[in-house]
Amino acid sequence: MTKKTIYLDHAATTAVDKKVLREMMPYFSDKYGNASSIHSFGQEAAQAVEKARMQVANFFGANLNEIIFTSGATESNNLAIKGVDKAYFKKEKKKPHIITTTFEHHCVLETVKKMEKENLIEATFINPKKDGVIDVRDIKNAIKPNTILVSVMYVNNEIGTVQPISEIGRMIKSKNSEQGTGDKKIIFHTDATQAVNYFDCNVEKLGVDLLSMSAHKIYGPKGVGALYVKFGLDIAKIQDGGAQEFGLRAGTINTPGIVGLGSAIKEVKSQKSKVKSMVVLRDYLINKILKEIPDSRLNGSRIKRSPNNVNVNFSRVEGESLLMMLSAEGVFASTGSACSSGSLSPSHVLLSLGLKPEETHGSLRLTLGKNTTKKEIDYVVKVIKKTVEKLRKVSGNVLKDYYKNMKHKA
C-alpha cells in the first residue's frame, strides 16, 4: 500500500506551477542571453525581464521603475532597511530611529538588531497583542523626532495573523503631514511575502513606500523576489557592482527566475477566486482539531488570519517529535518558520504573544495550498490525533518514572 503524501507547509515554500515552469524553460538554454547585453540575443532576454516587471508592477499598482528584482524577500528586506538607513546617514550624519515588531521574520528582526548593536540606529520593537495583531497606537506612540522607518510585516509567516497595514499607512501619512515633508519624512515598509496570494497588495491603498515579496511563496521559483520602491524615495544600494536594476541591485539579472516571478504573480489573480473555499477548509481544520484533540489551542487571532494558516499548540507534546512522527505518516508540516527549523530555541513569534518557553514547543503550523482537499484534512487530523495521544502517553510515563524516582530518593 502506497503511503499518503500530504504537504501542508505552503508557508515555507510552494511547488512551481506547471504554467510558470513552461514560461521559464526557454530562458535556461534556448534564450540564454544576458539581459544587460546590447546585442539582439541579450535584448530578447531584456524584453522578457521588462514584461515580468510590468506584470509585477501591475499587480502592486506601481510604475515600472518602482520594481527592483532581487534574490528573494530576505534580500529585499535587507535592501529596504539598510538602504534607507544608509541614505539617511549619508545626508544627516546622525543616528536615526527605526520601529519594527518583535515577531517579524528573522531577516528583518536580525537586520535591525545587528544595526542597533553596531550603533548605526536606535530601534524600538513593538509587541503584538495576545491575538498576534499589532496595535497601531503602539507604533504611533513609539515615533520620535528622528524616526525614519517603520517596518511591519503584512501577514505573520508563523501564525498567519494579518496586520492593519493600511491603517498604519494612514497614521504615518498623517504624522508626515503634521511635521512637514523632506528630511522629516517617515518611510513605511512592509514585508508582504505571505500576503501576496490572498490580500490586496495595491501599494497606494496600503500607503507603503517599500514592499518586499518572494516568488517561491506564490507557486514561482526559489531565488527570486522583488522590492517595490516608491519613486523619489531616498534609498542607497547596499552592494557594489554594475548598474542593474536602476543602480540599486548589482549583478547579472536572473532572467529565468524573473520570468517565473512575472508568470506566477499573473496567476495569483485567478487563484484569488479560491480564497473563500480555502477559508472554509481552514476553519474546518481548526474546528476539527480543537474539537477532537483535548488540550489544543489556536495560536493567534481566529478572524484576522491568513486563509491558509492554522497554527495550533498541543500541551504535553514536543513539537519536533510530533513533526517527525507526522512525516513518517506522510504528513509534512512545520513547527514554525522554515528559516528557524534547524533551531531548538523557543519560537520568538509565540514568545511575543506571551507564551512561556515550554508552551511554545508543542506548536504545529499547518499551511494549506491551492490544491488541498477536505479528504486530506480528515486524514491529517486523524494522524495528528493518534500521534498526539501516543506522545502524551510517552510523556506521562516519563513524568511518572521521574516522580517515582524522586520519591524513592527521599
Mode of pairing for the β-strands spanning 187-191 and 6-7: unpaired
Confidence of residue 337 (pLDDT cuts 50, 70, 90): very low
The C-alpha atoms of residue 310 and residue 302 are separated, in whole angstroms, by 9
Q: How long, in residues, is the chain? A: 410
192 inside domain: yes
> Rounded mean pLDDT of 129-158?
97
Per-residue confidence (pLDDT) for residue 356, from 0 to 100: 85
Q: Are residues 89 and 236 in the same domain?
A: yes
403 inside domain: yes
CA dist 217 to 3, 167, 258, 266, 371, Å? 26, 25, 14, 14, 14
Burial zone of 247 (CB within 10 Å; 0-12 exposed, 13-18 middle, 19+ buried)? exposed
303 inside domain: yes
pLDDT of 13 above 60: yes
220 inside domain: yes
pLDDT of 87 above 80: yes
The C-alpha atoms of residue 6 and residue 196 are separated, in whole angstroms, by 23
* Lowest-pLDDT range of 46-55, 118-127, 271-280: 271-280
Q: Which helix (H) or strand (E) holds 189?
A: strand 187-191
Confidence of residue 406 (pLDDT cuts 50, 70, 90): very low
Q: Are residues 367 and 278 in the same domain?
A: yes
Q: Which pTM value belongs to this model?
A: 0.93
Q: Are residues 184 and 297 in the same domain?
A: no
Per-residue confidence (pLDDT) for residue 304, from 0 to 100: 97
Extract the C-alpha cell encoding 266: 499573473
Q: Do 149 and 87 contact (CB within 8 A), yes or no?
A: no
What is the chain's mean pLDDT, rounded? 92
Q: Among 100, 210, 97, 84, which residue's Cα sits nearest to residue 150? A: 100
> Rounded mean pLDDT of 176-202?
88
Q: What is the pLDDT of residues 260-305, one digit of tens each?
A: 999 999 999 877 778 999 999 999 999 999 999 999 999 999 999 9
Extract the C-alpha cell encoding 65: 521603475
Per-residue confidence (pLDDT) for residue 400, from 0 to 100: 47
Query: Of 270, 299, 329, which marks where a domain is finished?
Result: 270
Q: Are residues 226 and 321 in the same domain?
A: no
Q: Are residues 99 and 246 in the same domain?
A: yes
Q: Are residues 256 and 354 in the same domain?
A: no
The C-alpha atoms of residue 311 and residue 103 are separated, in whole angstroms, by 15
Query: Of 217, 236, 270, which marks where a domain is finished?
Result: 270
- What is the sign of the dihedral through the CA atoms of 16, 282, 11 and 195? positive
Measure CA of the first residue to CA of the last residue in the chain; give whole Å: 52
Which residues are known to be catalytic? 339
pLDDT of 397 above 60: no
Residue the block writes with cell 486563509: 307
Per-residue confidence (pLDDT) for residue 92, from 0 to 100: 83
342 inside domain: yes
Extract the C-alpha cell encoding 22: 513552461
Confidence of residue 336 (pLDDT cuts 50, 70, 90): low
379 inside domain: yes
Q: Are residues 353 and 296 in the same domain?
A: yes
DSSP 218-248: TTS-SS-EEEEE-TT-----SS-S--TGGGT
Q: Are residues 252 and 281 in the same domain?
A: no
Q: Are residues 152 and 241 in the same domain?
A: yes
HEC string for 260-299: HHHHHHHHHHHHHHHHHHHHHHHHHHHHHHHHHCCCEEEC
Per-residue confidence (pLDDT) for residue 344, from 0 to 100: 62
Confidence of residue 4 (pLDDT cuts 50, 70, 90): confident
Per-residue confidence (pLDDT) for residue 179, from 0 to 100: 75
The C-alpha atoms of residue 355 and residue 374 are separated, in whole angstroms, by 31
Q: What percent of the chain has pLDDT over 70?
A: 92
The C-alpha atoms of residue 350 and residue 219 are separated, in whole angstroms, by 27
1 inside domain: no
Range of the structural domain that residue 321 is part of: 6-14+273-409
Q: Are residues 278 and 248 in the same domain?
A: no
DSSP state of 17: P
Looking at residue 104, which CATH number applies to its domain?
3.40.640.10
Q: How far is CA 114 from the centre of its chain?
A: 20
Extract the C-alpha cell encoding 384: 495528528
> Rounded mean pLDDT of 93-106?
94
Query: Of 270, 304, 338, which marks where a domain is finished?
Result: 270
Q: Are residues 178 and 292 in the same domain?
A: no
Q: Are residues 118 and 247 in the same domain?
A: yes
pLDDT of 181 above 70: no
- What lies within 8 Å, CB to CB, of 201 at 6+ separation is 59, 60, 154, 192, 195, 211, 213
Q: What percent of the chain has pLDDT over 90?
A: 84
Split into its structural domains, the chain has a count of: 2
Q: Which long-range contacts (CB under 8 A, 24 or more apart) does 221-224 make?
A: 221/16, 221/20, 221/24, 221/256, 221/257, 221/260, 221/261, 221/264, 222/13, 222/72, 223/71, 223/72, 223/254, 223/257, 224/69, 224/70, 224/71, 224/72, 224/254, 224/257, 224/258, 224/260, 224/261
Looking at residue 365, which CATH number applies to its domain?
3.90.1150.10
DSSP E strands in 282-358: the ranges are 296-298, 309-314, 331-332
59 inside domain: yes
Per-residue confidence (pLDDT) for residue 295, from 0 to 100: 95
pLDDT of 192 above 50: yes
